[in-house]
Amino acid sequence: MAAAIEQLNETRVAFNQPSSSRRYKWSVGRVVAWLGLALMTVLFVVPFLWMVSTSLKDARLAGDGKWIPDTFVWSNYTEAFSFNDYWGQWWINTIIITVINVIGGVLSTSLVAYAFARLRWPGRDIVFSLVLATMMLPGIVTLIPQYILFAKLPAFGFQGSDNWVNTFLPLTVPAFTGSAFYIFLMRQFMSGIPMELSEAAKIDGASELRIWSQIVMPLTKPALAAVAIFTFQAAWEDFMGPLLYLQSEPLYTLQLGLRQFEFAAGGSVNWAWLMAGSLVVMAPVLIIFIIFQRFFIEGVTLTGMGGR
Amino acid sequence: MAQVLSRATVAPPKSFWSPARREALTGWLFAMPWIIGFVVFTAGPMLFSVYTSFTNYNIVDAPKWIGTDNYTNLFQDDRFYLSLGNTFWIVLVKVPLVTLASIGIALLLNMDLPGAKFYRTVFYLPQVLAGVAAIFLWKWILAPDGLFNNFLGFFGIPESARPGWFFDPNWTKPGLVIMGMWWIGGNILIYLAGLKGISTTLYEAAEIDGASGSKKVWYITLPMLSPTIFFQVVTGIIGAFQIFATAFIITGKDSNVGGPDGSLLFYVLYLYNRAFGRTGQATLQMGYAAAMAWVLFIIILVITGIQLWLAKRWVYYETDK
């Protein structure tokens, strides 16, 4: 497995080199391939367009099969959020949890990776093999005992709870311990920085903390960006965590809020509202993707995180 | 004399904090966040979970030791076998399809065709749109009067012959697989990276020997890509075994029974129902759920082990010396 990971990393370096632009050669096979790609691209975009189309329809005509609604019902976008008074709160909750996760994730990952990549200490290789082992650990094994742990840890009345369940703590505190995948990624990245830089700084009397924050952190910006972006997405879209740990409605995140569509409106789902609401909830991730596309694409190949 | 010399070299009195000792301490301190997290949130809970699996425990009352009862009950539990069967179905159908489709698309993207970068972005787009919103989108597309069935109607398939998808126990899992095919962008990118890493000299050598396109794919591309394929299949299977959110959202109010005829009762969904389910079954059965988690862990471990053993036969490592 370790060999597989090493080899993956070697191939990734080649991926990120800009491909030279040159004139394209054409043949029948290549035209067919290009058409196939174009067709598949359309198939990938269609669900998204259908979502936009439905979100603008009159709720009663949501299933009429038309692509362009007869009348554009823009009010879906406001009405979708009117059925529950907590929507505003859910936005705030989601933003708080996400921001804490991103900050905690980036700092802890970078700090821990520094220990593995740039420092020599007894036990380092054993601890690092533990990091690799947890990468492969199915999350289900820790689900139940973690819940029990959080149900027993005292919260001293934080967010009105005497244990960690029904507070933001289980969804935020673990972020500060770093995630194995990202630690692995950052370590690979940091190992590539010449040790001479650190040694020169040390001669000038800089502490390791200073070298980490002033020299290594700035040099690992692309990897830090990848970690930040993926942590953002994972925290924003997390469903199981909030489902387990947030039980009272005012503490919900947007993902739990979306589920309320099904329980609202007395049984039958209002697809127009649901699609409008879903689009708005997706929007922040979509906007981040459009702005930071390059980091997303590079991040996937760097981390080897494909189908989560 | 020797004493004098050594004393001279030792003086001035050496501090306990030699540079190496200092670095060792710094190393441990820097790694401490992960080590604490590992002990508190992973290793500790895992050990406790082993104990829990031999008890009757509802969090409120003290755990009661019942020996291996949870495990023996589990192996006589019809719903355990149902959920295991459903989960294996998804693993066996979805993982190969996802692997084939993403390698296929990656091969096309690697042909250096115009617009490849744009296509690459589009294929990745759905991966950004995960979460509850995207699952609802697919629940809507695969609704009886949804987009997919409209599309079938376009080909002249009468309404009565169109699948009921998430309402028909025979079509729920195929629906889930169709849905899953939308989220292969990450896989495509990783295979594409693997393809870009294959040295062009190999292809040039093959061309000199007169190898055709398909021969190059079979004898060069796939062997060179095999470490990537292996890694993706291993992690893909581990992920597929733990399918939860999709099934939970799709089944909605019926999540406690796993949708029509329990056809979407996947392993982790059943485990969740046993531990946290709000209706129907007895809940907060932490001991039973912990036992279920360990059984799944063993299953995944064995399957990963088999794959590692099989890998010797088909995975080619360039670095092997």
Q: Do B189 and A301 touch (CB under 8 A)?
A: yes
Give the model's pLDDT for residue A155.
Answer: 92
Averaged pLDDT for residues B153-178: 92
Helix (H) or strand (E) holding B28: helix B19-37
| Smallest Cα distance from A113 to chain B, Å | 8
User: Rounded to two decimals, what is the model's pTM?
Assistant: 0.89
Listed in sequence order, the DSSP H helices in B68-142 are 69-74, 78-109, 116-128, 131-141
Q: Quickly list H helices, chain A.
A: 2-15, 28-55, 76-79, 87-118, 124-136, 140-152, 169-172, 180-191, 195-203, 208-211, 217-219, 221-237, 240-245, 254-263, 271-303
Q: How far is B154 from chain A (nearest CA, A)?
A: 11
How high is the pLDDT of residue A13?
45
- Residue of A11, A57, A136, A288 to mutate, interface with B, max B Cβ within 10 Å: A11
The DSSP code sequence of B292-314 is HHHHHHHHHHHHHHHHHHHHHHH
Residue B316 confidence class, pLDDT cut points 50, 70, 90: confident
Q: Is B21 on the interface with A (CB under 8 A)?
A: no
Residues of A in contact with B60 (CB under 8 A): none
CA-based nearest residue to A211, from A100, A105, A117: A117
Task: Give ipTM to 2 decimals.
Answer: 0.87
| Positions in chain A short of pLDDT 50 | 1, 4-5, 7-21, 306-308
Tell me the pLDDT tens digit for each residue of A33-85. 999 999 999 999 999 999 999 999 988 887 777 888 888 989 989 888 888 88
Tens of pLDDT, residues B196-237: 888 888 888 888 888 888 888 888 999 999 989 998 999 999
Question: A157 and chain B: CB distance < 8 Å anywhere?
Answer: no
Q: Identify all chain A residues contacting B198, using CB atoms and an 8 Å cutoff.
A: 11
What would the pLDDT profile of B282-306 be if each residue is shown by its tens digit?
A: 678 999 999 999 999 999 999 999 9
Contact call for A121 and B146, based on CB within 8 A = no
